[in-house]
Structure 1
Amino acid sequence: MSKIKVGIIGCGSIATHRHIPEYVINENAEIIAVCDIVEDRAKERAEQYGTKFYKNYEELLADDEIEAVSVCTPNYLHAPISVAALNAGKHVLCEKPMATSEEEAKAMIEAAQRNGKKLMIAHNQRFVSSHVKARKLIESGDVGKIYSFRTAFGHGGPERWSADGSNSWFFEKDEAFIGAMGDLGVHKTDLLRYLLNEDIVEVAAFVDTVAKKETTVDDNAVCILKTESGIMGTLAASWSYVSSEDNSTIIYGENAILRLEDHPDYSLVVQYKNGEVVKYELGKIQSNEDGGQNNTHVIENFINSIVENSEVPINGEEGMKSLKVILAALESSKTGKVEKVHL
């Protein structure tokens, strides 16, 4: 079987540490072109992996050999590039958050449907082993009725991770549109929707800049979320956790408490009401601190869906539902009111 020919649009850190290495190890994929407006960056990746390079994405999309693309650009370009790629007949894997507005997200979904192509959003937390196991425990009824949750995602900021350091687009509102809440919070809104298998319908939030005063986007967000069945909990997203990363989630149920990525040695700890404690070693969650070396399984799932012509695990509709939660959080912070998430 011939390999799926792939183009990478944007050669920054997420492409360098996640997308490109995972395509390289995938036996059904072959990167044949890379693109970045910073020509030296595109050239460097092209030389490293033996591919063609382009300076603008329109040229890459005009390459008929390319069947699928990863969109690894600043947030404000996610929608326009994804729509252009879908219209050019390419399957699209787009980084999160998928867009900067509901209207943009809808345009992406419609373009995928119109052109009969796959659109997947790269919410990698759904594929983390502890998260997959926790969902199974919840679905099995082992945990009982879910009462509440607490989730957090924070680190010292994208200047430690981004290819442009402290000059990164992450800090510019016109390119990023949103800060920590969009960079990290959207991961957790998607994870909660996945774990609980429910949509979030109400949000009350404080979204502000408290640590990095030179930026034009938020660096801290704290939200209260409520699901359609009435489960309530909190979400924190931050670029000010200066000593180490926090990527933990705790689910409080009728029969047990699930502690995900909350222990240095065990990726999932289940504390049952009867006193029994079960500890699972399921491998470490992907972290910026490890240089992004762990396989996120995002590319694997994307390529498999193309090869098998099956539904992608996180389609545009799913991406839009998670995006709507962070949009509601922004609105709540602005209005000082509880905002409904219109599904």
Structure 2
Amino acid sequence: MGEKELIRVGVVGTGYMGENHVRIYSEMEDVRLIGISDPNSSRVKELAARYETLPFSDHKKMFGKTNLDAISIAAPTTLHCPIVLDALEAGVDVLVEKPIADSVENATAMIESAEEMDRHLMVGHIERFNPAVLKLKEVVDSGVLGKIVSVSTRRVGPYNPRIRDVGVILDIGVHDIDIISFIYGMKINQVYAIAGSDIHSFEDHATIHLRLNHSYSGLVETNWLTPHKIRKLTAVGVKGVAYLDYLDQSVEFHDNGWVQTARIEKAEPLQKELSHFICCSRDGTCPSPSGEEGKHALEVALAAIQSYREEKMIEI
């Protein structure tokens, strides 16, 4: 067997999430971290020195001066579209952090550009790579729980001051919107949300009711007010119920006679996500979550914001 092709990668955006991308790429075999970009020149230079790569304060210069195969984009959401379009124009496969964009129109432009340039566009919905979520999806698809009739989630915790450009729905609620769609294997078609703003300029607490295929139920509870972090999901089927903890990476199954704990090999979801992206870039296989899946989660999240503001149910 010959050696795998070396994939040349870069990262745009070196904040909290971007630095994690930089760290993981620097540790991966068969990957070479070519450069990182951020307008904060002192920050990007410090990280570049630490991870032995090239710093750029302008992502366009990085695209122009390096021969990249793939790029992670962890810039603020409002900047996703122009940076992604620049990367695709440069012929680079793209992983963009969730949410895919700040508007459905921009998400569509990104998807169409990826198709036109024949490049991959993957959206970084990290919980898709949580081993507990993958185990639950496997069990649901096997039919052990029977028909699933409701999936509810709680994603709550203290406010992080670095989040300034979006509210709690687009920042963390979108994770569970995507996971509920993923667990059911179907799109969401109706949204009704109740939310408010007490400590933030955007909404900081929300309860989002979801309907799928007109007869399946989803519920997302999320806030930045709870003093401790909770990340949990409950899936109710006609034969049993599953309780998932995203943080512990654990799943329990309950039926009439038994309580079973799933055997799960714990792992860092972001490492799994980036490995999947690199494999897709190397092999030419289609990544998941795709641009279309990321666009659907964005559509639902934006509909939830519209719903609470207009106090009505929104059709997707």
TM-score bracket, shorter-length normalisation:
over 0.9
AA of the residue aligned to 2:108: K
Q: What residue is the counterpart of 1:21 in the other structure?
A: 23
How many angstroms apart in 1 are the aligned matches of 2:149 and 2:106? 34
AA of the residue aligned to 1:280: A
How many angstroms apart in 1 are the aligned matches of 2:92 and 2:270? 24
Residue among 179, 185, 189 paired with 2:177:
189
How many angstroms apart in 2 are the aligned matches of 1:130 and 1:48? 33
Show structure 2 runs of 5+ residues with no match: none
Is 1:279 matched with 2:267?
A: no
Deviation at 1:158, TM superposition (A): 2.1
Deviation at 1:61, TM superposition (A): 1.9
Answer yes or no: is the 8 Å Cα contact 1:22–1:300 preserved in 2: no
More displaced 10-residue stretch of structure 1: 46-55 or 2-11: 2-11
Show structure 1 runs of 5+ residues with no match: 160-167, 287-293
Answer yes or no: is the 8 Å Cα contact 1:181–1:207 preserved in 2: no
More displaced 10-residue stretch of structure 1: 107-116 or 25-34: 25-34
1:149-188 superposed matches below 5 A = 149-159=151-161, 168=162, 170-171=163-164, 176=165, 178-188=166-176
Is 1:308 matched with 2:283?
A: yes
Deviation at 1:84, TM superposition (A): 1.2
Residue among 221, 244, 260 paired with 2:206:
221
TM-score (ref. length: structure 1): 0.87
How many angstroms apart in 1 are the aligned matches of 2:50 and 2:247? 37
How many angstroms apart in 1 are the aligned matches of 2:54 and 2:175? 32
AA of the residue aligned to 1:134: L
Answer yes or no: is the 8 Å Cα contact 1:121–1:315 preserved in 2: yes
Q: Which runs of 4+ in 1 moved over 6 A?
A: none
**SS class of match (2:65):** coil
Deviation at 1:179, TM superposition (A): 1.3
- 206 and 252 in structure 1: CA distance in 2 versus 1, 3 angstrom threshold: same
**SS class of match (1:225):** strand
AA of the residue aligned to 2:283: E
Deviation at 1:66, TM superposition (A): 1.6
TM-score (ref. length: structure 2): 0.94
AA of the residue aligned to 1:217: F
1:245-260 superposed matches below 5 A = 245-260=229-244
- 53 and 154 in structure 1: CA distance in 2 versus 1, 3 angstrom threshold: same
Aligned residues: 313
Q: Deviations over 1:215-265 (max 9, x none)?
A: 3222111111111151113101211121x211110001100101010796x
How many angstroms apart in 2 are the aligned matches of 1:285 and 1:332? 36
**SS class of match (1:247):** strand
The sequence identity of aligned pairs, in percent, is 28
How many angstroms apart in 2 are the aligned matches of 1:330 and 1:285? 33
Residue among 236, 244, 257 paired with 2:221:
236
How many angstroms apart in 2 are the aligned matches of 1:340 and 1:238? 24
Q: What residue is the counterpart of 1:269 in the other structure?
A: 252
Answer yes or no: is the 8 Å Cα contact 2:191–2:300 preserved in 1: yes
Deviation at 1:40, TM superposition (A): 0.7
AA of the residue aligned to 2:243: R
AA of the residue aligned to 1:149: V
More displaced 10-residue stretch of structure 1: 79-88 or 61-70: 61-70
Deviation at 1:285, TM superposition (A): 7.8
Residue among 58, 64, 70 paired with 2:60:
58
AA of the residue aligned to 2:175: H
Answer yes or no: is the 8 Å Cα contact 2:38–2:57 preserved in 1: yes
How many angstroms apart in 2 are the aligned matches of 1:285 and 1:250? 21
Answer yes or no: is the 8 Å Cα contact 1:267–1:283 preserved in 2: no
